[in-house]
Structure 1
Amino acid sequence: MTRILAAAALLLVAACGQHEGHDVAANEAAEAPAAPAAADSVPSLDGDWSVASIDGKPVGSGSMTASFSGGKANIASGCVRRGLTYTQKRNVVSFAVDPGGSANCEGRGTSAEHEAAYAALQGATIAIFGKEGKEANLSGTGGNLALERR
């Protein structure tokens, strides 16, 4: 019986010793300094852009532009301009029509290419950036709009 009690006491002491070690490790982890927060690495759309392609079809260099500033967006081709409001949270974007930001050429309508770009921008829900923020692909239900910073 003495041997059983001695073995039980040894097991109890060993178990307690292991339990203490886990508490120390847990406490050390809790006291470790937190890693610095990562900087927001998603660029902003703010600025002036050239429309490079619409749904993968190239657009003539500089023939269509887009600009973003203060929650307002414009897509322009010649004297035709379509205005939108927008929000951007990291890669998530949303656009809404802003009729006050639009203008037409006197007596001329818009081109099919301009309307396709406008539809792509209006339906965009995500922005994926490349080349350190110098390129952006906006996509959503309206199609895909590839932009290059000017």
Structure 2
Amino acid sequence: MDERIDPDELLAAVGFDADESVLTRRQAEVLALREHDIRQSDIGELLGTSRANISSIERNARENVEKARQTVAFANTLTAPVCVDIEAGTDIYDIPPTVYAACDEAGVEVNYGSSNLLQLIDDAVDGAIQQDTVQVPLRIDVTNDGVVHVRGQSAERTE
């Protein structure tokens, strides 16, 4: 391990503030060190704990980051001017024109071409698309600046 790497310096360089983060300071330290390709066992030595504990801290940190991403996506969709619900069983090639029409109606320019939009959907919701068909109900929201958020939704959703 590079002895010059100091977790405090790494966190200071990126402006980490534990009071403003969903991560604990220790979680942030572990993620920052892992992003610098430091092995868990070396991080454990540096921080005075076991590799198993570092593994647990890293796993929890990554889960917290994903929850934060989902929360931000949810918050963004609350104010999104374009909201399109796609039913399970929909042909995937019907999705882009539906989204584009809703965006045109709202005066929003979407930042994705058809193939990129379909790839975004497939990447965002595991198992959403199989054999050119939507497998689960989807919610596609487009923000004022054209950013697309895709979430799977429960079939029991009520208005």
TM (norm. structure 1) is 0.22
Structure (1 or 2) with the greater strand fraction: 1
Larger Rg: 1
**Greater helix percent: which structure?**
2
TM-score after normalising by structure 2: 0.21
